Structure 1
Amino acid sequence: MKLIQKEQQSLIASQGLNLDGADLSGVDDSNIMPPKNGGESSVRQVFITVSPKLCSAIKDHICRLKRFGTSDVSDQPSILHMHDIMDDLEEFTEIPDSFCDLPHGHYPLTITYHKFLMMLDGTCQTSFFDAFYGEMKSSFERGHSRSRAVQTFIELKEVTYEKFVTFYWPRFNADLTKKFAASTVFTEIISHIKGAYQASRPYTGKLGRQGYVMLADKRFSSLNNEKRDIIYDIFLEYESMKCTAREFDLSDFVNSLHSSLVSEGYNGDMVDFVYIDEVQDLTMTQIALIKYVCVNIKEGFLFAGDTAQTIARGIDFRFEDIRSLFYTAFLPETEASNEGLKHRKRVHLSDMFQLSQNFRTHSGILRMAQSIMSLLYFFFPSSVDKLNPETGLVHGEAPVLLESDNDENAIMTIFGESKSKHGNLHGFGAEQVILVRDDATKKQIIDIVGKQALVLTIVECKGLEFQDVLLYNFFGLSPLRNKWRVLYGYMEDKDIIAHSEEISHPGFDTSKHYLLCSELKQLYVAITRTRQRLWMCENTDDYCRPMFDYWKKLCLVEVRLLDSSLIQAMQTGSSSDDWRLRGIKLFNEGQFEMATMCFEKAGDAYREK
């Protein structure tokens, strides 16, 4: 809303305040921009988010709000459109790859973070991709534009987490990697060794070995000096392999931009306000790039996100780190340009504003989510920002732990034999989903349920929501295995269980239980995908028992036997329109297999193709 308010204030100013008695009581005169373009808003605002799909949705929403604000009621009813993968490429041609003399009609500019990087790169005298001209030469010869050639090159040569795990991790020295998870090492490389903002000059784009190892003493860490020293050895191997393969990661691109902007300066248009959504998906060096395009230190930056949902590979984020970044990077930059001097005595980062009222789900789910946050605060106090518990306006069914009276797989009980045992049931509807840990489990479950239910991984479902969620075998496939028993220590400490119960459990050791942090965050994301009902089932109770005991002691869950009456109550039908709408949403998230199934159920042969 702040973005729209600024647009309206600027528009009022550009019209010379000749409003014939209009009510201006809500307008802050000090924030009204001077007229520039004879009736057009002259404020330059940029909205940035990582997801292309969210970017597209926000762009449409802003357009509707602007039309509404100018009393234009000609807008058609909101229709959810399919956002094809080619739409992401079109973004490279519709908006120039530069902030130099950007036509004012592009503002407010709503772009992905990737596009923001490309525009910064196009503003610099020396492009990061100049070093790879030989690799892109064939694209130029085929008549492709520079933007399209660069995009093709990025798709081929960027080292993502998936490429890191598949092609790099198996080739590292096994003596170095045997004690680490690939995700841990990738996060340390991207977020800390190459992603920690460096205020000193010259800008090198990475921490030295000593600086990285010393992080063990500077912040609450699960990695001691010895482990960090080994990770740095892996990092050096990674950099050598990457250089030989002529590949790059996002941190290389970001750090190259910092170096260019420090040495050359920024020569593009300055913007007045920058808004970043889902900021938890960015590293500190990525966030720091926006200081070059906006020097409105007083109120020019707005960051929104949720540290509990930091499950993006390679990212270790807290809002407290942004506060530190503001004082080490943003404020000195504006003071150097004399913009901050007049505000020096009163410039400060505003207090964090928490959106504590949840309108999406009910209080039962919110209490379970808060129980996970309590564990994160206790075991990993520096990994998340401590916030007040969210509250809901409505009550709902308590989350259900499913138990079977035989050894049969719960998924098989619900879907595999439901027709033969309980009649011709229709399976899950368009507003229901089975959530699993990984692609391998997803394939196994699809083989069982066929087209009776949507199946997604936890990472795939981030940003989506459903009426009902069935979380399958989260603990059974957890890499923590029996280390989940460390939760009993927390329960004893908080008097949730009596010390007399004498439940054996290990003491918490950050070096042994560091994976617990990411496991809890994944669990948080999974359970908060539901608006109404949540069911959890496990193949065995070997690893789930500590968490289930925790929830039972807090009276947060209900245990139910998986019988025919419950199975019937779980399965709901959906109309063709419901399936079509869900198919479009999944298509827009790149979940094409599940989207195709939805269109088939909707009888939409055109979209199914």
Structure 2
Amino acid sequence: MAFNHQTVLSKDLETALAAFVAQGQIDSKSTLDAAILDLLVALQSANTDVASLLTAIIYKVDGLLEVVVASREEAAYTFRSKVLWALQNSAKHPNPIFITCTERIGAFLISIPPWIAVDQNIMIKHREFSANVMSGDATESKYLVNKEAELPEDLLIEPSKTKRFGKRHQRASSVSSTIQDPGRHRRRASTVVPKQPPSPTVATNRSPFPLEQLKGCLESYLDACIEEGVEEFAVDKLFRLLVPPATPQEAPDEPIPEPSLVPAKDLAQSPSTSFSLATIALHDILRDLSDTTKPKLGQWLVVVSQRGIKHLRKYFFHDRDTFSRIENAMRELAIGSFSTSNHLKLIEHDHGIPIYSADIGSNLRLLYHIDFGVPTNSTLESQFIRIFGPFPNAEIDITFWKAISAQLGRRGPEYILNCSVQTGDRKPSMSSSTTVSPIHSRPLNVSQCSEQELDVEIDDSQRLELHRILSLEKFVPLSDTFFDEVHRNELHVLTFTETGSYDTPAQDPSLGLSLLDMDENAEEEGHLPSKFSELKDSHFPLFATYDQLCMLLEADFNFRFEPSSLPIPQKGRAQVKQSAVRQPLVSFEYFDSQIWPRLDQRLKKGLHSALVFSEFMGIIKGSEASISKSSCYLGSAEYEEQNNRSALGDSADKSNIYSMFQTYQKLRPPASYDLADRAHALLAALQCKGVPGKGVDFLYVDEAQDNLIIDAAMLKALCPNPHGLFFAGDTAQTISVGSAFRFSELKAFLYRLERNDTHVRGGRRVPVDPHFFQLSTNYRSHGGIVKAAAFIVKLLDSYFQRSIDSLAPEAAHVNVSIHKPTFFSDMSNPADFSTFITEPNSGMVGLGARQVIIVRNESAASSLRAVIGRVAVILTLYESKGMEFNDVILYNFFTDSPGTVTDWRAMFLSQKEGRFFDDRRHSILRSELKSLYFGLTRARERVWIWEESGDGRVMEALLVASSLATVYKGGFVPRIAVRNQKTEWAEQAQQYFAKNLFSEAAFCFDRAGLSWWMAVAQTYKDRQDATRLGEEDPSRLPKFSKIAQAFDRLAQEGQSKENQESLRLLFTNAGECYTLASECISAAVAFLNAGKYTAAAYQYRMAGRFDQAIDILKRYGVDSDVAESITYAAKFVFTKRGDVR
């Protein structure tokens, strides 16, 4: 071997280094691991000076230094210590090899994919370090040169000789040169490749480098190198250099860890499949996902606000010439053709992010800004253009747009820099000498906006508009079909008036409505198979509820869990034996009404039913420790040891709760189940039999706080990919009684599951530890709401520390502190509330489409409707889950609270006077504070808390004292209702329908003027009510018959104007209801109209109409088992009556 220096290395080290050559003796991961270990041992025992050792490693092969410093072997720790010690004891100016070493490690760290958690400050340190290195005439800095430069002939190691770098590789590598010189930050990045640097013994012109700064930087880098996943990434990268593919291929966007595949026989031997490698390449997924953000009309991605699109349609209908000029302006921006006419700063002196205008003519300007953050691959993000829309010059309020500029700039100076465009300093693109290309750079290390108030004063009336534009507005990417869609809309809404001018009447709100899209159960039937094992690639990406996922698995394992005790019509699901059916579900409502009253009063004293049920489900039956129990629940002693999870600290309380749990097990129906029972049953089946069919590569769980910990174990079993499981949620929003979920516990649980993985224990892959990160910016609600909600979370964390995760306070994207929650206390006059929900201009009583009244429970909702009539959407707290509204009225939240005034006052006195707070005695406030937080954060813009009593005065005083709320002080009652278009009512109706809130959907359809859809929603509501009737109720069968007739009639009425899928679904509903009413012939006709031929034939068979049943068998495809049953019975009947066929 040859190096450009005269240092003599030990024989062991020479031998160890000799293994690292391209296409040499290293041909597998195992041989590479062995070679790395030999090298580390040789380095540990070498007597050669550290500078020479570094030189030998750095210039032997690209990637070897990174593997050494990232290794977790004991010898690597020793070597890293040697390096730092040698640097510390250097002369005033350290050997240049230490600077080169630091540069190499820094460049390696910033190339690491984002799923490997590395301190984000490393990027900043690397930029500063590189800037200092480049500030001198550093010969050695030529180690990184442009890709276009010829490789020197004396380059010793050429791992790329048999591998050509494609364009994607160039883009992935470009980050290095961009970051090396901040002064060149605005230029297009160029690819870099290794070039032979000068010998460390040759003098260079590099300026002296401060020793302490160098040592501090190198020490930080070495600490970052031993983070989880870094070593695996470095080894994989080196392996690809040493063992290139057999055939030339295009390099991926960035190096992706690819652990060795486990032989199929190993997977087959274990019923519980463990994952050693994602079954699909991760970089392929990243590339497919990035396709959605790639520019479609030019090199710049352009997005347009929905408000801008509405204005664009207006000009298309009324002024085609102006529309064409707007289209041309957008297309020029998409190709990066910036000029003085389309790239003029709206505000001369920037207050943050520059706002630009494009002159369209006719006193119109297109307003936009350069934004940053669109992912181009997994490591780089790009600039893009965000268009607000066309605005008349007379309507452009400069002060308001200054506020927009300042608000956008709250993300910090680095973001502002990345959003700047200076055409004079930028190289023109390859396609045109007059165009400018977007900057590509690493993602910014900014998680939330600055809390600093805007230094631009705007009217209070404009602050909500600021929030709407920057936080609530949705943007649509500009593409080849964008303008075509605008043209196509002409077919639906464009008419020609008698005067010869174009007119745009209100769009039909029924356009595009589909019952199949709204009915969740119908979607399951239409698009999901009956079993998990029958899922195919075409079903993915799959969106399903947790219940739907469980139902698919139940069918594979011959389980059936039915929430109701009523018979459920079969819908094509796998038939199971009656003994396998478990019903009903013991929900909290069932527990509270049927079991809680029967428990020992002495044991219940001082405890609330919600808290007790949460202890049952979340800890005794749903905790990690319960998985290993044959009974699937903890024993008394084990439960009392769960101090870190239980909301109770008193052992006596725990003893009483466990006694009640034992009684609960006896009192509940023998065949009943609760959610923990179902999770345990499915988890046991997965552990015993394995995943039916194929496992899932990536699984995203939303609203994770509503699940039990044992649910996570089941989901982990379905997704064996250690990189593929994602949980998102907010433990402060846990309003589902029975959940004791915390992310800190989930993280610890997944950590232990990973350590217990068969492949990890067998040494076939390294463990992948779960990572936790907080999304601390709230884009839904503005600062006036978010700050009040953060105060509630602070109370929860102070008094009920084990109930939520301790996180940094949430911050709003836009601070509109003028619109704080407002309390209306002691408002006992119903007329005042009617005035409050009145529209100020028309005087009509009733809220708008995106306004809502939230109450405690269904009883409170019914009482309020009886008082004010059907003039607004009224939801319970639980019904509003997963929804958001412009304005929210929390009605009688404290008046109807299970917590007493004494409970709230105890917290107040603790806050204001420092008195002791008994968290056991006032434990109900744990769920009450979560409910209050949840209610507040349903609102985007405004929140009012309306109380008929004075029970909310305590919380009112706490929030007002902290300047987080305001109070209505009597006098004129404001009118807060707004008017909406019919299309907005129709849009809201669909959301309610999809959440099975049929009564509210019917109300919204009525406001939209859609009488047929209103009747559909009301019929769904009637069916929902009928299913809740007991089997002994004499009105049950007549009601189902009436509902079936209504479904049938609606399907007939909709023949001329509604889509066929919706009509088929209505006929199907009619058939099912006829079946429940025991009207088999009517059911058969309805199923026949729906195209459900198997069900139609079966109903004819049950009615004894074998002629019709056989006719269906001959004409249509029918399930073979049903066909065989019908044929057998028909032969018997026909033979008996002498009708031989």
TM range (shorter): 0.7 to 0.9
Q: Any conservation in 2 of the 1:470–1:535 contact (CA below 8 Å)? A: yes
Equivalent position to 2:796, from 376, 393, 414: 376
Aligned equivalents of 2:992, 2:682: Cα separation in 1: 34
Aligned equivalents of 1:457, 1:484: Cα separation in 2: 22
Q: CA deviation at 1:379?
A: 0.5
Q: CA deviation at 1:373?
A: 0.8
Cross-structure match for 1:30? 256
Alpha-carbon displacement from aligned partner over 1:175-217 (angstroms, at most 9, x marks no partner): 44454322222211111111012377464311112111222x4
Query: CA separation of 1:211/1:528 partners in 2, compared to 1, >3 Å: closer, same or farther?
Result: same
Aligned equivalents of 2:164, 2:640: Cα separation in 1: 62
**Partner SS state of residue 561, structure 1:** coil
Cross-structure match for 2:775? 355
Equivalent residue letter for 2:280: V
Equivalent residue letter for 2:544: I
Cross-structure match for 1:558? 966
Equivalent residue letter for 1:584: Q
Q: Any conservation in 1 of the 2:534–2:693 contact (CA below 8 Å)? A: yes
Q: Any conservation in 2 of the 1:220–1:382 contact (CA below 8 Å)? A: yes
Q: CA deviation at 1:338?
A: 4.6
Give the RMSD, CA atoms, in angstroms.
4.0
Q: Any conservation in 2 of the 1:538–1:544 contact (CA below 8 Å)? A: yes
Q: CA deviation at 1:552?
A: 1.3
Q: Which runs of 5+ in 2 are unaligned?
A: 1-113, 116-162, 173-251, 261-277, 283-287, 297-478, 490-510, 1016-1141
Q: CA deviation at 1:87?
A: 3.4
Equivalent position to 1:544, from 922, 927, 952: 952
Equivalent residue letter for 2:732: A
Q: CA deviation at 1:452?
A: 2.4
Aligned equivalents of 1:250, 1:200: Cα separation in 2: 14
Cross-structure match for 1:583? 989
Q: Any conservation in 2 of the 1:93–1:147 contact (CA below 8 Å)? A: no
Aligned equivalents of 1:18, 1:80: Cα separation in 2: 52
Q: Any conservation in 1 of the 2:716–2:725 contact (CA below 8 Å)? A: no
2:649 paired with 1:228: no
Equivalent position to 2:597, from 154, 163, 170: 170
Query: CA separation of 1:403/1:315 partners in 2, compared to 1, >3 Å: closer, same or farther?
Result: closer
Cross-structure match for 1:276? 701
Q: CA deviation at 1:384?
A: 0.9
Cross-structure match for 2:686? 261
2:714 paired with 1:308: no
**Partner SS state of residue 280, structure 1:** helix
Equivalent position to 2:998, from 570, 592, 600: 592
Percent identity, aligned pairs only, is 28
Cross-structure match for 1:488? 908
Q: Which runs of 5+ in 1 are unaligned?
A: 7-16, 35-40, 46-62, 493-498, 500-504
Cross-structure match for 2:932? 523
Q: Any conservation in 2 of the 1:363–1:393 contact (CA below 8 Å)? A: yes
**Partner SS state of residue 43, structure 1:** coil
Equivalent position to 1:321, from 721, 737, 745: 745
Query: CA separation of 1:489/1:84 partners in 2, compared to 1, >3 Å: closer, same or farther?
Result: same
Cross-structure match for 1:95? 528
- Under a length normalisation based on structure 1, what TM-score does the superposition of the two structures give? 0.78
Equivalent residue letter for 1:362: H
The total of aligned residue pairs comes to 541
Query: CA separation of 1:143/1:119 partners in 2, compared to 1, >3 Å: closer, same or farther?
Result: closer
Query: CA separation of 1:440/1:84 partners in 2, compared to 1, >3 Å: closer, same or farther?
Result: farther
Equivalent residue letter for 2:752: T
Q: Any conservation in 2 of the 1:291–1:330 contact (CA below 8 Å)? A: no
Q: CA deviation at 1:363?
A: 0.6
Cross-structure match for 1:242? 668
Q: CA deviation at 1:256?
A: 1.6
How does 1:284-299 map onto structure 2 within 5 Å? 284-297=709-722, 299=723
**Partner SS state of residue 968, structure 2:** strand
**Partner SS state of residue 355, structure 1:** coil
Q: Say which structure, 1 or 2, has more relative contact order (CA 8 Å, 6+ apart).
A: 1
Q: Any conservation in 2 of the 1:186–1:313 contact (CA below 8 Å)? A: yes
Cross-structure match for 1:514? 923
Cross-structure match for 1:105? 538
Cross-structure match for 2:634? 207
Cross-structure match for 2:615? 188
Equivalent residue letter for 2:977: Q
Query: CA separation of 1:129/1:488 partners in 2, compared to 1, >3 Å: closer, same or farther?
Result: closer
Aligned equivalents of 2:747, 2:865: Cα separation in 1: 45
**Partner SS state of residue 974, structure 2:** helix
Structure with the greater alpha carbon radius of gyration: 2
How does 1:130-169 map onto structure 2 within 5 Å? 145-147=572-574, 157-169=584-596
**Partner SS state of residue 111, structure 1:** coil
Aligned equivalents of 1:384, 1:452: Cα separation in 2: 37
Cross-structure match for 1:341? 763
Aligned equivalents of 1:415, 1:601: Cα separation in 2: 18
Alpha-carbon displacement from aligned partner over 1:368-390 (angstroms, at most 9, x marks no partner): 01110110111011211122222
Between 582-591 and 168-177, report the one with greater CA deviation: 168-177
Cross-structure match for 1:251? 676
Alpha-carbon displacement from aligned partner over 1:543-598 (angstroms, at most 9, x marks no partner): 3222111111111122223544x423x12222222222222211222222122111
Query: CA separation of 1:576/1:101 partners in 2, compared to 1, >3 Å: closer, same or farther?
Result: closer
**Partner SS state of residue 428, structure 1:** coil
Q: CA deviation at 1:267?
A: 5.5
Aligned equivalents of 2:899, 2:555: Cα separation in 1: 45
Equivalent position to 2:822, from 384, 401, 404: 401
Q: CA deviation at 1:221?
A: 2.9
Alpha-carbon displacement from aligned partner over 1:410-461 (angstroms, at most 9, x marks no partner): 5531307988x99833432112111111222111111122122221111111
**Partner SS state of residue 30, structure 1:** coil
**Partner SS state of residue 781, structure 2:** coil
Equivalent position to 1:458, from 877, 881, 886: 877
Equivalent position to 2:977, from 571, 582, 588: 571
Aligned equivalents of 2:585, 2:944: Cα separation in 1: 38
- Under a length normalisation based on structure 2, what TM-score does the superposition of the two structures give? 0.43
Q: Any conservation in 2 of the 1:199–1:328 contact (CA below 8 Å)? A: no
Q: CA deviation at 1:278?
A: 1.0
Alpha-carbon displacement from aligned partner over 1:61-96 (angstroms, at most 9, x marks no partner): xx9998787989779899675567853255257434
Cross-structure match for 2:459? none
**Partner SS state of residue 468, structure 1:** strand
Q: Any conservation in 1 of the 2:517–2:523 contact (CA below 8 Å)? A: no
Aligned equivalents of 2:867, 2:1014: Cα separation in 1: 22
Q: Any conservation in 2 of the 1:415–1:452 contact (CA below 8 Å)? A: no
Aligned equivalents of 1:116, 1:44: Cα separation in 2: 25
Aligned equivalents of 2:720, 2:523: Cα separation in 1: 30
Between 322-331 and 281-290, report the one with greater CA deviation: 322-331
Query: CA separation of 1:189/1:81 partners in 2, compared to 1, >3 Å: closer, same or farther?
Result: farther
Q: CA deviation at 1:265?
A: 4.3
Q: Any conservation in 2 of the 1:308–1:384 contact (CA below 8 Å)? A: yes
Alpha-carbon displacement from aligned partner over 1:87-140 (angstroms, at most 9, x marks no partner): 32552574345444742222333322123223334454xx3349x9xx99x87x
Equivalent residue letter for 2:921: K
Aligned equivalents of 1:408, 1:145: Cα separation in 2: 53
Between 301-310 and 180-189, report the one with greater CA deviation: 180-189
